[in-house]
Amino acid sequence: MRILWCDRDFPVNTPSFQQMRSELSNKMKNNITFKYATGKRDMLKVCSGFDVIIIGPFVSDLDAWENLGKISIPKIMIVSDPQSDIAHHVYYTKKYKINMLLFLYPAWIPVYQKYLECKMDVLPWWLNDPKENIEKQVDLAYAVANSPFHPVRWLVSNDKRIQEMNKVKVPFGIGDSRIEWNDYIHLLNRTKLLIFDGSFWNLPILKYVEGMATECCILAPSPEREDILHLKPYENYVPVTIDNYFEQIVKYLDNNEERERVAKNARETFLKYNTTKIRMDELLQKLELLVNE
């Protein structure tokens, strides 16, 4: 199979797509030809000889792929942030005659089906294994927020009880608190409890995978379609709400055995279901079916 991936060079703090492209490049030895295109392009000049085209998730780049609608090669678009970008996705799916949409957040598929007739499928988040064999010295890491759009993050960020806790705690996420990817992952590897949310929409965001991969005990609301990441309440993460998040923090900090059990299960879930290699194999199966129709 010959794959053309059209996307931008991602910032370091968004590694999943870079990692997927690297895995596909490594597959070139095994009957996979992979090429990556970035920047504004006339697609009539770059698509010759490919079997399938993948369009990356940044809607601000969608206008870059000139003449894409004139090409008959099967085309896939990765859909991220549907809650804000649905109008762009619908417009460019029609303009470029996209054959399939792959959703990071598939609870939105029924909404898109009201406007589009192309195929729609699921592509959950993934990550290379970032585990470090170091001691868990940070009791609590939490994603901060500057608005109630992230209700749990918002409350945790402003909770004086947490600020006054006699525990090691590290906020991250916005403004001066934002840290580089490598520092962030190193923090998670040292963290016992990681608390966040997937916004008002309860999206199954990448942080679930990051927490699982680094063997954190995740405290977060149950996301829409938790099944796509193989999340199971009280088995590999602890569901929290705006009413009980503080009590759950205290409970799982005080109960080492239960916290470590959940974190270990989360790590095993990541290795079994959510690595880049596993997600790449799932993606290739979808591409094969689309190309061979």
CA triple 45-48-29, angle to 5 deg: 125
243: pLDDT strictly greater than 90: yes
Give mean pLDDT, residues 45-74.
91
Residue 223 neighbours by CB distance under 10 Å: 23
Q: pLDDT tens digits for 100-145?
A: 999 999 999 999 999 999 999 999 999 999 999 999 999 999 988 8
What ranges do the domains of the chain cover? 2-127+275-291, 138-273
Mean pLDDT for the chain? Answer: 92
61: pLDDT strictly greater than 60: yes
pLDDT in the model for residue 222: 97
pLDDT in the model for residue 127: 97
pLDDT in the model for residue 47: 87
pLDDT in the model for residue 143: 87
What does the CA dihedral 150, 196, 229, 92 come to, rounded to 10 degrees? 30
In sequence order, the 6+-apart residues with CB closer than 8 A to the CB of 36 are 5, 7, 21, 25
Q: Give Cα separations from 102 to 78, 162, 217 (angstroms).
A: 5, 39, 29
Residue with tokens 């009201």: 114
32: pLDDT strictly greater than 80: no
- Choice among 82-91, 159-168, 190-199 with the minimum mean pLDDT: 159-168
pLDDT in the model for residue 165: 87
pLDDT classification of 48: cutoffs 50, 70, 90:
confident
Same fold, 2-127+275-291 and 138-273: yes
23: pLDDT strictly greater than 70: yes
The model's pTM is 0.94
Amino acid identity of 289?
A: L
pLDDT classification of 36: cutoffs 50, 70, 90:
confident
- Choice among 132-141, 162-171, 188-197, 222-231 with the minimum mean pLDDT: 162-171
pLDDT in the model for residue 177: 61
Q: How far apart are CA 91 and CA 97, in angstroms?
A: 10
pLDDT in the model for residue 8: 81
Give mean pLDDT, residues 36-51.
86
pLDDT in the model for residue 169: 83
33: pLDDT strictly greater than 60: yes
Q: Whats the size of the chain, residue-wise?
A: 293
Check if CATH label 1.10.287.470 holds for domain 138-273.
no
Give mean pLDDT, residues 9-22.
82
Higher pLDDT, 203 or 180: 203
pLDDT in the model for residue 283: 97
Q: How far apart are CA 151 and CA 157, in angstroms?
A: 10
Which CATH homologous superfamily contains domain 2-127+275-291? Glycogen Phosphorylase B; (3.40.50.2000)
Q: Are 179 and 224 in contact (CB under 8 A)?
A: no
Higher pLDDT, 273 or 293: 273
Residue with tokens 């009791």: 139
11: pLDDT strictly greater than 70: no
